[in-house]
Amino acid sequence: MRPVIGITQCLDERERWRRGREYLYGDFAYSRAVEDAGGVPVWLPLQTDAEALLEHIDGLLIPGGDDFPPPSGASYAPDVQFDPAPERQVAFDRRLLGGARERGLPVLGICYGMQLLALEQGGALHHHLPADRPEAAPHQLPERGGRHDIEVDGGTRMARALGDGRVPVNSLHHQAVSDPGPGLRISARAPDGVIEAIEAETGPFCVGVQWHPEKLDGDGRLALFRALIAAAGV
């Protein structure tokens, strides 16, 4: 049987889609990539009992989403805009992530998902790269065709999935991990030093990436999803 990969959803609680309604949504590109890589994608709706969902999946994918708000007292220029992920969604995703790791389920975090993984491990974020790392290159590139290289460390899960050395990726973020937290190691960086991938130092497959592999073309699109599904099928 093909491994079942649970995918978390974003919550619209601000009536952005339609007045008087709340919506759960996700980019179809994620479930399509999981299916193309050999898994069975299942969307996980926000609910009270996260543990009940974990009983029915073999692996967890936490995809991209909205922002994590900066800590109280942090000061940014008036033109810096944040679009915070709803607290209910973040709390639910944290329960799923914690439960998945306790059960030894493989986990892949993408963009928001990578940042959540770092925060859950006691790590930290750059909440707005142009302000927090003004020397960094631009990381909010055009979705179509915008690319920069990353340097993948040899001997890591990331290297086994993508190969070590330089790999081109897309880049759609203004937040990034500044400290992955205890138990996680950095497995790839951009040329400017911004962290692009993290992974668990030991134990089951647990990887976070800052780019969006589901939006890539060619071999780079499915490599990480195949690695997740292979780990889920063990």
Residue 107, pLDDT > 90, answer yes
Average pLDDT over residues 192-216: 98
Average pLDDT over residues 18-41: 96
| Alpha-carbon span 33 to 213, nearest angstrom | 9
Give the model confidence (pLDDT) of 209-226 as tens digits: 999 999 999 889 999 999
Catalytic residue among 111, 126, 139, 174: 111
- 212 catalytic residue (yes or no): yes
Catalytic residue among 128, 148, 174, 212: 212
Token pair of 233, please? 């099928």
Q: Return all residues near 2 (Cβ < 8 A) that are at least 6 apart.
A: 38, 39, 40, 229, 233
Annotate 196-224 with b (16+ C-beta within 10 A) or e (fewer): bbbbbeeebbbbbbbbbbbbbeeebbbbb
| Alpha-carbon span 228 to 209, nearest angstrom | 13
Task: List the domains of the chain with CATH numbers.
Answer: 4-232 (3.40.50.880)
The pLDDT value given to residue 133: 97
- 126 catalytic residue (yes or no): no
User: Could you tell me the CA-to-CA distances from 6 to 55, 93, 118, 137 in Å, in that order?
Assistant: 11, 12, 20, 34
- 111 catalytic residue (yes or no): yes
Categorize the per-residue pLDDT at 4 as very low, low, confident or very high, splitting at 50, 70 and 90.
very high
Residue 102, pLDDT > 80, answer yes
Instruction: Give percent helix, percent strand, percent coil of the chain, each to the nearest 5.
Output: 30, 25, 45
Give the model confidence (pLDDT) of 47-76 as tens digits: 999 999 999 999 999 999 999 999 888 889
Q: What is the pTM of this model?
A: 0.96
The pLDDT value given to residue 214: 98
Categorize the per-residue pLDDT at 188 as very low, low, confident or very high, splitting at 50, 70 and 90.
very high
The pLDDT value given to residue 74: 87
Residue 172, strand partner residues: 140
